[in-house]
Structure 1
Amino acid sequence: MTRDKFINKLDRALISVPYEERKDIIQDFEEHFAMGENEGKSEEEIAESLGAPNQIAKEVLASYYLGKVEKSSSTGNVMRAVWAVIGLGFFNLVIVLAPFVAIAGFVLSGWIAGGAFIVSPLLFIINILLFPDSFNLIDMFASIALSGAGILLIIGMYYLTKLIRTVFIRYLNYNVRLVKGGMKA
């Protein structure tokens, strides 16, 4: 593969990276070609030694999105980082997606349970308005207790979500380093 073909493929694969950062990445690979040519290598040999442009782009995208998550861990950034890491290989489909789905389900269920507990007094009031004869003091106190438990659960889920997000981002970074071959003994 020639220099121009390699650079064009890499540039197209990195289209989602902002122009300035993409320009820096492309410039780095241009320098690889220049250094290789100074050593007497052909463009094809240099391109082969660098690897496939699509695989390089996948690794760059994974690192880019993980960097974005570390700066601003919005849901969109986390999702893009997860998909970029999964895109590194089929192996990651199981190793990244399965834990992500399980953890996301656990966190979502905790938030839903907390919210449901908090609104239980409202449901008790609606029940009394619809069926005035069904008033029961135990039900009233149970709904108030559930509401308090819901508030505590929501507070706990806030801190647990932050912790899980941090740990999962570290796991994604570890996975990217592992796939890139950066794990040295």
Structure 2
Amino acid sequence: MNSKQMFLDKLRAGLKGLPHSVVEDILAEYTAHFDEGRAAGRSESEIATALGDPSRLAREVRAETGMRRWEDERSLGNALGAIVGVLGLAALDLLVVLPVLLTVGSIDLAFFIAGACICLAGSIMLPFALISLLPGFDGDWLQGVLISLGMASGGASIVAVCALFTIGVINLLIRYGRAHYRLITQANPS
């Protein structure tokens, strides 16, 4: 098997899971690189070496595709795709990025759950406050209503801040991935 076909096969394997049209466009682009190199008198092995490691190229394409999807449509699936793409691109930095990401994500999740529980508790207390069944309020229904509304709105606020924080962290990861991608591209010009 020739160097061109081995390169394209490795690249195709690394791009598995991406939309078929994206994979075909990328393979056509790299096939054109080989055709131009052959027209310039270079061998296929020289062209493959100049293009770099197809596995690394596939990781870069996957990261960029995930980031574009996240920017186009902000959804949980696209956020996970962007995170996985950035972590795949930053494989060498995995020992630094992953523990920090897991710690920040765990704290964010804990605050999210706490906020949801506080909001739920306030929502459950509201009907009881309205009929003065909450103990300790001595029939002062207004105080019970205000406390339950305060808990519900405070919990909802915590959940909203956690959601905004999560979006911010995802955007930082995308910026990190792009900066990392630019550094790799500058260090290994194709």
Q: Does residue 1:137 correspond to 2:137, yes or no?
A: yes
Q: How many angstroms does 1:147 deviate by?
A: 3.0
Distance 2:62 2:177 in 1: 13
Unaligned runs of 5+ in 2: none
Q: Structure 2 vs 1, CA of residues 143 and 56 (structure 1 numbering), >3 Å: closer, same or farther? A: same
Q: How many angstroms does 1:37 deviate by?
A: 1.0
Q: How many angstroms does 1:82 deviate by?
A: 1.6
Q: How many angstroms does 1:124 deviate by?
A: 5.8
Counterpart position of 2:176: 171
Distance 2:12 2:178 in 1: 24
Q: How many angstroms does 1:67 deviate by?
A: 0.9
Unaligned runs of 5+ in 1: none
Question: Contact 1:96/1:172 (CA < 8 Å) preserved in 2?
Answer: no
Q: Structure 2 vs 1, CA of residues 17 and 121 (structure 1 numbering), >3 Å: closer, same or farther? A: closer
Secondary structure of 1:22's aligned partner: helix
Secondary structure of 2:41's aligned partner: coil
Q: Which amino acid aligns with 1:178?
A: L
Question: Contact 2:123/2:149 (CA < 8 Å) preserved in 1?
Answer: no
How many residues are aligned here? 178
Distance 1:77 1:181 in 2: 27
Q: Structure 2 vs 1, CA of residues 78 and 180 (structure 1 numbering), >3 Å: closer, same or farther? A: farther
TM-score (norm 1): 0.78
Q: Structure 2 vs 1, CA of residues 157 and 12 (structure 1 numbering), >3 Å: closer, same or farther? A: closer
Q: Which amino acid aligns with 2:180?
A: N
Question: Contact 2:90/2:177 (CA < 8 Å) preserved in 1?
Answer: no
Counterpart position of 1:85: 86
Q: Structure 2 vs 1, CA of residues 54 and 147 (structure 1 numbering), >3 Å: closer, same or farther? A: same
Q: How many angstroms does 1:143 deviate by?
A: 5.1
Distance 2:74 2:100 in 1: 18
Counterpart position of 1:76: 77
Question: Contact 1:85/1:92 (CA < 8 Å) preserved in 2?
Answer: no
Question: Contact 2:89/2:177 (CA < 8 Å) preserved in 1?
Answer: no
Secondary structure of 1:33's aligned partner: helix
Q: Which amino acid aligns with 2:137?
A: L
Distance 2:90 2:155 in 1: 41
Secondary structure of 1:40's aligned partner: coil
Secondary structure of 1:87's aligned partner: helix
Question: Contact 2:123/2:152 (CA < 8 Å) preserved in 1?
Answer: no
Distance 2:83 2:61 in 1: 14
Question: Contact 1:85/1:96 (CA < 8 Å) preserved in 2?
Answer: no
Q: How many angstroms does 1:142 deviate by?
A: 5.3
Q: Which amino acid aligns with 2:31?
A: E
Question: Contact 1:66/1:81 (CA < 8 Å) preserved in 2?
Answer: yes
Q: Does residue 1:96 correspond to 2:101, yes or no?
A: no
Counterpart position of 1:18: 19
Q: Structure 2 vs 1, CA of residues 15 and 107 (structure 1 numbering), >3 Å: closer, same or farther? A: same
Q: 2:158 aligned to 138, 153, 173, which one?
A: 153
Q: How many angstroms does 1:38 deviate by?
A: 1.5
